[in-house]
Amino acid sequence: MDRDTLKVLISAEQIEERVKELAEDISRDYKGKKPFLVGVLKGAVIFLSDLIRNMDIQLEVDFMAVSSYGADTTSSGIVRIQKDLEQSVKGRDVLIVEDIVDTGLTLNYLCENINSQRPNSLRVVTLLDKPDRRKVKFEADYCGFKIPDLFVVGYGLDFNEDYRQLNDICILNL
């Protein structure tokens, strides 16, 4: 890995502290319920695994994989489901767990898709949010960090499948 191209934006310690706070907020808000957490593959896996280990309520986990259609993944606006949920979310309290909200197109689509299955409730937790890049109106219910319009990698986030294993969230200068 070429460390020269990477600059730490959010350290592992900052992430750990914020993930604990999010887990506490979510555990409090869902007390007495058993939320159905939907992790968005692959970027959200590390966030989800740290989040749930800090939650002290009953919960279930499932995963979805989506991809933007076409070569320009951020601007096409067409989202395709590559892996769907294995269980029904009808009547469940669904919490989508995502790594980052950028244009908002992915979560906009995912929320519409899940809402059409009649959950009891639907919320979104995202570790990162780049509000400057929105193409559609979208606001997550829980957000770890708002960041400027920079391309970041690490803690699950990739560039062409590289850098997911970094403990810090880093700015990638190509």
Query: CB-wise, 94 or 103, nearer to ligand IMP?
Result: 103
CB 52 within 8 A of CB 35: no
Site string for ligand IMP, 138-167 (x = CB under 6 A): -------------xxx---x----------
Which of 50, 93, 102, 168 touches ligand IMP (CB under 6 A)? 102
Task: For residues 92 and 76, give the distance between their C-alpha atoms in angstroms, rounded to a whole number.
Answer: 31
Q: Of the candidates 105, 124, 143, 169, which one interacts with ligand IMP according to CB under 6 A?
A: 105
Strands annotated E in the chain: 6-10, 36-41, 60-68, 79-83, 93-101, 121-129, 142-146, 152-153, 169-172
Q: Which of 50, 93, 99, 102 is catalytic?
A: 102
Binding mask 36-75 for Mg ion (x = CB under 5 A): ----x--x--------------------------------
102 part of the active site = yes
Give the CA dihedral 65, 71, 74, 77, nearest 10 degrees: -80
168 binds ligand IMP (CB under 6 A): no
DSSP bridge pairs for 142 = 125
Alpha carbon 43 to chain centroid, angstroms: 7
Residues that bind ligand IMP (CB under 6 A): 43, 74, 98-106, 151-153, 157
